[in-house]
Structure formats: C-alpha cells, structure tokens
C-alpha cells in the first residue's frame, strides 16, 4: 500500500470511529477492506437514478452531490458530500438508486464492493451500526433541508446552507480559520436551495453587503459567524457531529 492509499483507508476508518467505538479487531477489519481508488473529473456522473450498483463509493477528496431531476428537467440537489462521506451507502440495503450522484470538483473516490461490506457487517455488527448511523445522519440532513426549502426564505435559507457547509468542512479539516474552499457555482447552490441561480446571486450579494459572508473566486469567507447563524436559524445539533462542532 502506498502512503496515499493508507491515508484513504484511514479517512474511512476515522469516519466510522466518529460514529461508534471500535475494537482493534474491528479497526483491522476496516483497514483490510478492498478499496479501489479512482480519480474522477468535475461533473462526472458516478451513479444514475435507477442504477442497481454492486459497490459503494467513499468520497476521499473533492466535493460531490446527490440529486434528482423532475419531469420538466429541473434539478434538485439533495445533498452535498464532503470527504469521508459514503454517498450511495443506501444502495447496500436498498437495491436501486432513487437519485443520481455526481462530482462537483475533481474527486478521488474509493470503491468498495457490496459483498465485502456485507461480510464486514456480518462479522462485526458494530460496523454495521456505524454504517446505519451514517445513513441516519444523512436522513437528519434531509429533514433539515426540507425545513429550509419549505419554510425559510432565500436569505435565511442560503445562510443556513453556508453554515452547514462550513461546519461539515471544518469537521473534516477543510475549513481553517473563517473560510474555506467552496468551488460550487451559483447554479449548483440554486439547485440545492430550490431557487434560481439569479436569485442566489442577489441573495449572496445581500449576505455580502450585510457583512456576513463573501463567496468569490471559489472561496467562502465568513465575516460574522454569529450573524450568519442567526440569519440562517442554524443549530448544528441535527448534524449529530462528535463533540464541540465549531469554534
């Protein structure tokens, strides 16, 4: 194993250990998983709605998203994925994908056969618990997004999403200080927020002139975290992150 491959496996293991405490044997079993790493370009479709995949994908580097498309062709992004996430874990238990999965930036992913995961889950139920919890955390984010899209207006909804992204990126070490790389277009933000790209632009302008955040040159800078949290009605509890989530 190259050092990079070791680091990749460690990333997966670290994620699982944030969900349950593992024994040495369980740790070893995770590190023994057959992980085939791949590099994917921007806008690469990893899985499509209706697929019945036979492997899971662990995001090791880069940003990705899950989405669905309506009959009239408009897209709703359902989740953003950060390194450490396993975006199509549901495929392990539910046969067919009911959503698409695509990269937003160049990504490195680890591909793990369902069979291998099932064996590990069978041999080590606590690992199954960890994966189950991972899917439950996804569901918790879906719930909170529904509140945003359904009940918050553009300003608060956008603030809320930016809060979530900062906290999640910070949790995996990708946000240092008050900012982070966030190479997401306004079109993509709009598809996630359930609003038009034009209105995302106006809303970001509002957030900027209110002194809360700037999002320019693929970089997000938070100027007033407290005000952003207030504007977004953001309570990180739903993310169910380990100890003190931020700050």
Partner DNA sequence: CGAATACTTGATTACCTTCAATACGCGTGG
Partner DNA sequence: CCACGCGTATTGAAGGTAATCAAGTATTCG
Residues of this chain that bind DNA (CB under 7 A) = 153-155, 157, 185-187, 190, 194-199, 201-202, 204-205, 216-218
Instruction: In angstroms, give the least distance from the CB of 5 to its own copies.
Output: 29
Contacts of 76 (CB under 8 A, 6+ apart): 67, 68, 69, 70, 191, 192, 194
The answer to whether residue 226 forms part of the interface with its own copies (CB under 8 A) is no
Whether residue 241 contacts residue 175, with contact meaning beta carbons closer than 8 Å, is answered with no
For its own copies, give the closer residue by CB, 180 or 229.
229
Q: Which of DNA, its own copies, none does 197 bind, CB closer than 5 to 8 A by kind? A: DNA
Q: Which residue has the tokens 């209105």?
A: 199
Q: Which of DNA, its own copies, none does 154 bind, CB closer than 5 to 8 A by kind? A: DNA
Instruction: In angstroms, give the least distance from the CB of 6 to its own copies.
Output: 29
- Collapsing DSSP to helix, strand or coil, 160 comes out as helix
Instruction: Give dist(CA 20, CA 51) in Å, integer.
Output: 30
- Collapsing DSSP to helix, strand or coil, 224 comes out as coil
Q: Which of its own copies, DNA, none does 216 bind, CB closer than 5 to 8 A by kind? A: DNA
Q: Per the structure block, which two tokens stand in for 189?
A: 């933000």
Beta bridge partners, 100, equal 67
**What are residue 70's phi and psi, to 5 degrees?**
-90, 170
Q: Which of DNA, its own copies, none does 227 bind, CB closer than 5 to 8 A by kind? A: none
- Collapsing DSSP to helix, strand or coil, 246 comes out as coil
Q: What stretches of 44-196 show up as alpha helix (H) in DSSP?
A: 90-93, 114-123, 125-151, 154-171, 186-193
For its own copies, give the closer residue by CB, 129 or 181.
129
The answer to whether residue 119 forms part of the interface with its own copies (CB under 8 A) is no
Instruction: Give dist(CA 63, CA 40) in Å, integer.
Output: 11
Q: Which of its own copies, DNA, none does 196 bind, CB closer than 5 to 8 A by kind? A: DNA
Residues 86-115 that bind its own copies (CB under 8 A): 90, 93-94, 96, 98-99
For its own copies, give the closer residue by CB, 183 or 194.
194
Binding site for its own copies (CB under 8 A): 50, 66, 68, 70-72, 74-76, 78, 90, 93-94, 96, 98-99, 121-122, 125, 128-129, 132-133, 135-140, 142-147, 149-152, 193-194, 233, 237-238, 240
């Amino acid at each position: 194993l190259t050092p990079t491959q070791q680091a990749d496996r460690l990333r997966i293991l670290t994620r699982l250990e944030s969900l349950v405490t593992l024994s040495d044997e369980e740790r070893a079993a995770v590190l023994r998983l057959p992980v085939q790493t791949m590099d994917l370009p921007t806008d690469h479709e990893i899985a499509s709605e209706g697929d019945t995949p036979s492997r899971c994908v662990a995001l090791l580097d880069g940003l990705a998203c899950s989405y669905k498309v309506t009959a009239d062709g408009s897209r709703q992004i359902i989740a953003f994925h950060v390194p450490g996430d396993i975006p199509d874990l549901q495929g392990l238990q539910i046969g067919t994908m009911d959503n698409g999965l695509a990269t937003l930036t160049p990504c490195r992913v680890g591909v793990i056969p369902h069979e291998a995961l099932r064996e590990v889950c069978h041999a080590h139920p606590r690992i199954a618990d960890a994966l189950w919890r991972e899917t439950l955390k996804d569901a918790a984010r879906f719930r909170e997004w529904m509140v945003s899209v359904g009940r918050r207006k553009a300003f608060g909804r956008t603030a809320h999403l930016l809060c979530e992204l900062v906290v999640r990126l910070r949790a995996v070490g990708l946000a240092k200080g008050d900012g982070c790389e966030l190479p997401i277009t306004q079109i993509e933000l709009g598809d996630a927020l359930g609003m038009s790209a034009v209105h995302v632009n106006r809303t970001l302008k509002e957030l900027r002139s209110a002194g809360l955040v700037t999002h320019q040159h693929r970089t997000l800078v938070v100027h007033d975290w407290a005000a952003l949290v207030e504007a977004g009605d953001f309570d990180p509890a739903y993310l169910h992150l380990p100890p003190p989530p931020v700050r």
